[in-house]
């Protein structure tokens, strides 16, 4: 049985945090598409983008890659063979 099959509760908490950050970034992107000169929204976007980057970095260090096609690194052995993948939970 894969070690990823026995994921702790923190996995789901961290994955939900990433999803919340992604949602907020999508919403801010849509807003900034129509309000490109809103400095406060742009600052909030950049702050959340930085938080998302850090959160993803820590998640991947503990649980493995989030993205394929070279956007995430893999430890040895190849981690994509292990499930569940982030989009399956």
What mean pLDDT comes out for the span 49-57? 94
In a domain, 85, yes or no: no
What's the pTM? 0.73
Mean of pLDDT over the chain: 82
Number of domains in the chain: 1
Q: Which residues contact 52 (CB under 8 A, 6 or more apart)?
A: 18, 21, 22, 25
Measuring CA to CA, which residue among 26, 6, 16 is closest to residue 82? 6
In a domain, 2, yes or no: no
Confidence of residue 5 (pLDDT cuts 50, 70, 90): very low
Which domain does 27 fall in, by range?
8-66
Confidence of residue 83 (pLDDT cuts 50, 70, 90): low
In a domain, 18, yes or no: yes
- Of 19-33, 48-62, 71-85, the least confident: 71-85
- In whole angstroms, give the CA distance from residue 12 to residue 89: 8
């Amino acid at each position: 049985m894969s070690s990823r099959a026995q994921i702790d509760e923190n996995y789901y908490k961290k994955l939900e945090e990433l999803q919340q950050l992604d949602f907020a970034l999508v919403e801010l992107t849509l807003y900034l598409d129509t309000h490109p000169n809103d400095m406060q929204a742009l600052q909030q976007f950049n702050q959340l983008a930085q938080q998302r980057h850090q959160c993803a970095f820590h998640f991947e260090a503990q649980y493995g890659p989030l993205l394929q096609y070279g956007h995430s690194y893999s430890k040895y052995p190849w981690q994509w063979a292990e499930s569940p993948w982030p989009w399956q939970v």
